[in-house]
Amino acid sequence: MASSSSPSSHSSSCYLIPLTLLALYIRICISFAPHSGQSKPPMFGDYEAQRHWQEITVNLPLSDWYRNTTDNDLLYWGLDYPPLTALHSKVLGHVAEVVNVSWIQLHGSRGEESYQHKIFMRVTVLLSEILHLTPLFLLFSPDQIPCLLLLAITPAQPLIDHGHFQYNSISLGLTLLAVLALKHNWTCTGSAMFSLALNYKQMSLYHALPFFFYILGPRYNTWSGIRDIVKVGITVIFTFALCWLPFLWTADNVITRMFPFNRGLFEDKVANFWCSISVVLKVRDIFSRVALVRAALFFTLVSVLPSQLLLFRESSHHKFLLALTNSALGFFLFSFHVHEKTILIPLTTVMVLFSDKRANILTNNQEGEQSPVPVSLPAVWFTVIATFSMWPLLLKDDLSVLYIAGLGLFLTVAYVLFKNNLSSRIVQLFVLSVLGCFFLHLVEIFVKPPERYPHIYPTLNSLYSAGHFALFFCYFNYRQIVD
């Protein structure tokens, strides 16, 4: 996606350090805010889940990490991610053990929220950003300053990882490293990086089909290509074996925990097809769980396969990015048991499309000539709606002030970039869309929800966001066809 670096662009590289520092500064500021479940026993929240996994992996034998035992109550934040997450938790747990063993004391450390422990946990997330920001910035050339600035201040992922508290930056960073490697034709390296992403968070499966078809497409019909495919296969098998070998005798427990079909079609008010249709058709009450699993699988495959078959026929880095976005969006909209935070997966590749010149609109420069705005408006628009869609979760975590500040800063920069194009139809639609978000926030502030519909505002948020995501899904599929 990024244009090649010219001699003049080297002088622009001096902006990379301050922009990186800006990104880290924003994340540090967010880390002073409350985290999910803070001071809310008995379950607390995702912060406690991450701490609890450290407690379990340090104190119990590996065979007990994913199964219910006297010392490991799976109903209390049982591990439900692949082996690499468990091993990461164990490493962090041993570091915590050195700093303060009480933080991971078996049974006795539940609900640990001391100030020192919060610093420890926040620092571990901050360090993981190295894996996320490095490939994200490297996918752009140093002279693409507006794109890099928007990357530095994009609020969605920092609010979840450094506010709500998770380690999404690791799986997303590994995926971006894979994209970066494939951009430079380092196929085996890219395959290994994406395999690690899959073994850290199973939601990386949202991106699996594009990786498969992008690697297979240009190689399946030549002997040299087939040799490359064999090398990739060996790389993937070796990487998976490395991650799963310690869990070989408990693999059935791991897989059962990774794919919890008993937990329902969707969680909370997520902005996808199933939650939206449930407003008028209570599908969870009408159909059995098995029927819903099959329906979700059918709709997901039907929605994502066309773009992937197109990628198989026409492989390019640009179409690869669009196929990654289309696959992730299709999974988000139609797959089984989706969280609102999962929108970060399609958002990751949409952010790489900030520099998509094919989607740029024209503006008048100082000489009166028309030149393209250096940032893709659809990518900016998607980022705004993705952040807005997580508002109910962020409100529950007492992150409303940071949400307003983060989204306000992002929209201010967007205004500066597009202020000379307010007469453009697409810019006007973008402004109306943002005003719609603003209007829903105002109504929620000043109008009390009716007693009969206490969850009306999260529902309206999910419907409004889901409508946007459906249109974006059509748009990015269209772009993959015509570009």
Q: In 3-state terms, what secondary structure has residue 400?
A: helix
Q: How would you class 224 by CB atoms within 10 Å of its CB: exposed for 0-12, middle for 13-18, buried for 19 or more? A: exposed
Residue 359 has a pLDDT of: 66
Is 28 within 8 Å of 158 (Cβ atoms)? Answer: no
- How far apart CA 295 and CA 29 sit, in angstroms, is 43
Residues 6+ apart with CB under 8 A from 439: none
Residue 172 Cα distances to 46, 203, 276, 414, angstroms: 18, 10, 27, 24
Q: What is the mean pLDDT of each successive set of 10 residues along the chain, which is 483 residues long?
A: 47 75 95 95 95 98 96 96 98 98 96 96 96 92 90 97 97 97 96 98 97 94 93 98 96 94 84 94 91 95 97 94 98 94 96 82 55 85 98 96 97 92 90 98 96 95 98 97 91
**What pTM does this model have?**
0.94
> Which pair of structure tokens corresponds to residue 256?
């059962």
Q: DSSP alpha helices (H): ranges in 100-167?
A: 115-138, 145-153, 156-158
The CA radius of gyration of the chain, in Å to the nearest whole number, is: 23
Residue 368 has a pLDDT of: 52
DSSP character for 4? P
Residue 361 has a pLDDT of: 64
Residue 262 has a pLDDT of: 82
Q: How many residues does the chain have?
A: 483
Residue 254 has a pLDDT of: 97
Question: In degrees to the nearest 10, what's the CA dihedral of 153, 157, 158, 160?
Answer: 150
Task: Tell which residue, 403, 416, 479, has the closest CA to residue 444.
Answer: 403
- How far apart CA 323 and CA 212 sit, in angstroms, is 11
- How far apart CA 324 and CA 169 sit, in angstroms, is 17
Is 311 within 8 Å of 323 (Cβ atoms)? Answer: yes
- How far apart CA 462 and CA 456 sit, in angstroms, is 10
Task: Tell which residue, 315, 209, 318, 335, has the closest CA to residue 273.
Answer: 335
Q: How would you class 27 by CB atoms within 10 Å of its CB: exposed for 0-12, middle for 13-18, buried for 19 or more? A: buried
Q: What is the identity of the amino acid at 117?
A: H
Q: In 3-state terms, what secondary structure has residue 264?
A: coil
DSSP character for 33? S
Q: What is the identity of the amino acid at 93?
A: G
Distance of CA 326 to the CA centre of its chain: 14
> Which pair of structure tokens corresponds to residue 311?
């990628």
- How far apart CA 335 and CA 478 sit, in angstroms, is 21
DSSP character for 63? G
Q: What is the identity of the amino acid at 396?
A: K
Q: Which residue has the tokens 């800063």?
A: 409
Percent helix, strand and coil across the chain, each to the nearest 5: 70, 0, 25
Residue 5 has a pLDDT of: 46
Residue 392 Cα distances to 129, 373, 383, 433, angstroms: 25, 33, 16, 18
- How far apart CA 342 and CA 168 sit, in angstroms, is 10
Residue 421 has a pLDDT of: 85
Is 36 within 8 Å of 339 (Cβ atoms)? Answer: no
Q: What is the DSSP string of 279-316?
A: TTS-HHHHS-HHHHHHHHHHHHHHHHHHHHHHHHHS--
